[in-house]
Structure 1
Amino acid sequence: MSTTTELSETTLLRFATAGSVDDGKSTLVGRLLHDSKSVLVDQLEAVERASASRGQEAPDLALLTDGLRAEREQGITIDVAYRYFATPRRRFILADTPGHVQYTRNMVTGASTAELTVILVDARNGVVEQTRRHAAIAALLRVPHVVLAVNKMDLVDYKEPVFAAIAEEFTAYATELGVPEVTAIPISALAGDNVVEPSANMDWYGGPTVLEHLETVPVTHDLSHCHARLPVQYVIRPQTAEHPDYRGYAGQIAAGSFHVGEAVTVLPSGRASRISGIDLLGEPVDVAWTTQSVTLLLEDDIDISRGDLIVPSKDAPATTQDIEATVCHVADQALTINHRVLLKHGTRIVKAIVKDIPSRLTLDDLSLHPHPGQLVANDIGRVKIRTAEPLPVDSYADSRRTGSFILIDPNDGTTLTAGMVGESFASPEPVKDESEDDGWDF
């Protein structure tokens, strides 16, 4: 069997790495790529030259992912670095996310589509605040699998009690957050222990290596079994002699599958029709499913535009102007009560007002700080939002695509907040709205 055929039959795993500064994320990723033979010769030669210029005898594998000049100069990861590689057993899309608290917002981006998150901990430091923050984000984003990689075991003489104590503390914390599964692995990314090959220095550990776990963990978050959703991105009307009446509604299927002949409803208008055809890559098909970019044709000529959502009539979500959600605030500008924002859900953008911020999560003990008044960069909190137009939102627990949204500053387009509909820790009594009329009351 050819390699191409083998890879086409393997599953795809999207995973992200996270951890505090200097915990060794980039080194782990570099070691993973290097030892799994996923690095091209010219890439390795470039890393060797860059390492030699910095006076290092051995190649600094972290340079395989730290691609920005500022990252190389400072020795930290700033941007999310995406890497694509494959083994005979599985294909991978890896998001190496920053560890510095200033760039926690980028971890939200990297983990938002991940099915697994690798959280690194320095064996000398144990679980720290940034570890807790990353665990909380993984829990909120409902990442199905979390790997705790206790790194730099070589610097604690590969002692089992050190690993066991860290694994116990982290697992207890993650369980409180609702993380469904934690797999703890002791490693040394620099030396290669338990990354791709089992470690001869830790014979007391009988579990999988990092790569073995990545290759075998079940990919459980399958949106093809969710209620079907197609956010309309573009209306296609070629008006050619061959197709004078062609009107198609194009977009990427966010969840589920659509079939020719299926009864559908367009939201938020509520107009109903039936699918008369599905075009995929210019060819007609009878069925299309999650992540495919398609064009739907309907039996009835109804008003549909970018931002509308096409759903099966039997599974149509309710529309609402009042959204309650848990959010990760990612902007330097604070989010406050009565803040006027734009809310982007799928392909639709509407005006909205932050009506209340009932609570902010304290990461140390998972307690709630009631009515904080605002959320600042890297805060995780609960918000209530009123939109100018009704939106068809799902619960984030049902669909990570149509149950999520972002808040945008209407003045300069800055992304303020990433939100998960319906996710909640708890909710104190709401704050009374005493805002003045400024033309944004809905």
Structure 2
Amino acid sequence: MAIKQTGDIAAHRLSSEQLSCEFTDIAPLLDPTAAAAAASRCHYCYDAPCVQACPTQIDIPSFIRKIGNGNLKGAATDILSANPLGGMCARVCPTEILCEGACVRNHQDAKPVAIGALQRHATDWAMANDAVRWTRAPDSGRHVAVVGAGPAGLACAHRLAAAGHRVTIYDANEKGGGLNEYGIAAYKTVDDFAQRELQWLFSVGGIELKTGLVMGRDITLDALRQQYDAVFLAIGLGGVRALELEGDALNGVMNAVDFIKQVREARDLAMVPVGRRVVVIGGGNTAVDAAVQSRKLGATSVTIVYRRGEASMSATGAEREFARTQGVTLVTQAKPIRLLGSNGNVTAVEFERTGGDGEAERFTLEADMVHLAIGQTLVPIGLDHALLTLDESRIAVDADMRTSLDKVWAGGDCAASAGMDLTVQAVQDGKLAAASIDAAFALAAVKAA
């Protein structure tokens, strides 16, 4: 969804040189000395709480001990054995509420071990030195279709390929990677990392990627079930919730996910149009990514407005604080009432205070660009309704990621699994599905013998 340029929405807010500085890596790689110092703070806990807090169950004490001993290959092998997308997760995981949040160091000196930075130190070294590769098992004769080349689909494909099964991945986009390629702020994953990680993952062999193919239009689930021995659905949440307010069709109003994708796909960031006064409606990490990138592109003022209190925001505390350091203003307890415009262009958003006593107070924020980050939804086109939960918001799965249809599994954001909507949880869903599919093949082989 492209935004029409007007007098207030324009490209070239900043020069290419300025933008290059703005979009540098926000968490530079640790040098060996800093990594050794960080590793020395780990107590190598027995039954470590950090491991329990990691959805992919990486043996964190083990890999940190190896870093401390200078064994980066061993450390990376520990990480990638549990999480084949460990490099990306080291960049985007909310470690403060997962592994680092559970670190016992928090109770001693209020500073956890820098687990995420150490994980990136090891995995980046392994990728740069081509040090960790998987040997594929002999071909099993089985062929699996994976729909969606995001974290869940990639993790499932890698596990299945390593087990000797052939995998064909179908994806609607021009590139694989899913959320990692299109849905994460550009300053978090610089130097085309998502594609470099994808190529490493495919180096296991046995995986074919077919892009530009949409479920329900170019491929059907019935055809896949007939053609393949198993199907794994990892289609994510491709829809966005509508605001459904007066003025939401004005020029300058854009879905935040589309804006983030536009920035990620831009060959020249200076050509991405941005407003002077940007309002972002929502309270998640997508809202933060859209807001911060607007500031980095040259917006004069950027405000995130959320309808509940800050404690209810799904954006983590670290993300909210980072937004503030970048000049983003957070306004809470306010819901949008209508969008105002002139000559077809948005000029302001009217809000109403929530949660107070007495008469509701209304206020207006001027805006020439508005990003909507109010949630994403499942697009069930091409899916049998029997696959869906009662409210049809997700695909229903069991603990092994099986659906109600024979030969069909699902995982990641599209599935109603027990975990959170995080990249690392999607990876775990993919791993669980791959193990279940592999077990189903083994059982079928035993029955056929």
TM tier, smaller: under 0.3
Which protein is bigger by CA-based radius of gyration?
1
TM-score (norm 2): 0.27
User: Relative contact order: is structure 1 or structure 2 higher (C-alpha 8 Å, sep ≥ 6)?
Assistant: 2
TM-score (norm 1): 0.27
The structure carrying a bigger helix percent of its residues is 2
